[in-house]
Chains A and B, each alone.
Chain A
Amino acid sequence: MSSRDPDVDKRRLVGVHPERVTNVSSTDFPGHYPDEDHSWDLAKFNKTLQVRVQRLSNRSIEFDLVGVDASIANAYRRVMIAEVPTVCIEHVYVWNNTSVIVDEVLAQRIGLVPLNIDPSLVSMKENANDQATDRNTLVFLLKLACERNPHAPKGSTDPDQLYINHELRSSHLVWKPAGEQAEVFAHNPPAPTNPNIVLAKLRPGQVIDMELHAVKGVGKDHAKFSPVATASYRLLPHIKIKKPIPRHLAEKFQSCFSPGVIKIDPKTKAVSVDERNVRKDTVSREVLRYPEFVDCVELSRVRDFFIFNVESEGPYVPERILLEANAVLRDKIARIRKAAIALRDGQDEDVAMANNS
């Protein structure tokens, strides 16, 4: 069934009413409806599953995931936020810092700077205390001294003219290759994705001298490792007009929805829903406030139609984030499966062992 179908299966709809939502839970489980088979069937699933990329920019992607349960969509969302790895600065060694920002605050700010390092080229430390090697750590140097500008125009109050190096920016991070790194990263030298992040402000005589160690990590450990700015989904709105809207109320009806959602025929003033633009609606329920529209319209959302919006902030191009999340998810499944098989094969011992402990 396509999303454009005006009469979507009632079971797929979550009702949106003035003061409550109805029909919230999914019911596609075996035994829920008598004489209906809802057991898992991959062929059936593949038939209903649709994944469509809708919009793609250099920073974000919007795609539809149709025909899956909320638990699957949510698993992808959670993995994109918290378990797709990136490389961030984790250790900061301060040799000198005479700026007004204290060491720990500055270190925290530096940690949050997104780096352009492809995480697949770096291995993760098994343990936080593991020895740093050229495979798991990248080193940056951060050195800046602020001076007075001898050629500053007289009477100027603009710090850009008065001082040299008065702003410590992310572009001041200098990558120091170690071991094989110079070769591995030759095509894309490690640096912050945005060179213009102001990390600290300096005045003449103030100096910053630090060594920064970047490691690979995941968002569940620290939010700085999250590869996305947002990764969210919402359900596709569904609007059903139950009886014709009077001509003189057509415009008022249209203004109850987001722009583009409701079409008015210029000649007949007949009101209809633009099926291609329903996704733009916010389901604000404004239309339900007016007595003249009572029983005219039914608002709902399609339970298995997820509109994902993912904004990349870091090394991944936006279209790659779902693929990385997919790989992480499949890896998790494979590991649990392996452990479950081990449990089945060596069943008696393991079960007994667990019961004793």
Chain B
Amino acid sequence: MHMADAPYALPDAHGHFGPYGGVFVAETLIPALTELRLAYEEAQSDPAFVAEFEYELKHYVGRPSPIYHAKRWSGLLGGAQIYLKREDLNHTGAHKINNSIGQAMLARRMGKPRVIAETGAGQHGVATATVAARYGMECVVYMGSEDIRRQAANVYRMKLLGATVVPVESGSKTLKDALNEAMRDWVTNIGNTFYIIGTVAGPHPYPMMVRDFQAVIGKECIEQMPDMAGRQPDYVIACVGGGSNAMGIFHPYIEHKQVRLIGVEAAGSGIETGHHAASLTAGRPGVLHGNRTYLLQNEDGQIIETHSISAGLDYPGVGPEHAWLKDINRAEYVGITDAEALQAFHDLCRFEGIIPALESSHALAYAAKLAPTLSSDKVLLVNLSGRGDKDMHTVAEKSGIQF
């Protein structure tokens, strides 16, 4: 790539990150996406919009989220120092709300009274239901019936917040099917409805817009790390399903070329078993959900069912910018199995008194593998993207405990 020295400024005007991204949707959605792109461009350059977003992040979400030095765990692992970006301390318990607020503000600005969302683990659904309640908007959340079973507590939270949760029974009954159904709702109700996509995937401008709203995570880290560790980290580690928390922390670090960016995918029962959700590690480029990216698919181009202990990573695609960062070797992508993630989950509970989300536990597990191989003056920054309260049921079940 001869562009290695040019400043990173993707996507291009058509939403492309190299060969990835784009606007692969039916004609019916094109005008709505054009309207959204123009509204977003206008909002971005409006200081009042930017100021309101910052105000909301500070006073409603509780930002900036702290960085915490996990000294005891680092000591026990015996190597590099692990720092945690505490997105789990945000209102609603995960990074998802950063983006939901941004898009709901945009919906209000565009005069759309109804918002819809897809959700896997339920964190994006909860964040969107929360913001919809706050702004007095109608909210419909699509969720695979398999995920509804796995994440009952979050389903109840959404209902408490006034949202309608629609179970999706088609396909594998998980996140990808919820996304299909939300798209169908949007195309049918395009006049009054804003689709709040929760990850850095989908048709342009979503991957860019969600990244921009989540980039607050990385921007804060760049300010906080010198105070916390005396310098920027050697590694930034984040879990990747669709990839929004990872993109949020990676993006501001792309130009910091000495910082290694590591995305951790769900290797499920192991990549070799075929039961996983590691699209960048084991997938091939293709087109799904409005963008070209790495996909888990069979030889005939049919999307295959994925597996992960964490509903939030159980997705056969990945944001197109991650696909590009992988191809240009700016970020590396690795896999962590269900068992490894569970171990990290328990370790963080016991050694640091923090209950992490199962999604974030994948990033923690990779940090725990990497730290002992490095000297104690190395610095790892892990995005602790959410808290694990929602996962009590799953973890207890794995340990053979019934409530």
Task: Say whether A and B bind each other.
Answer: no
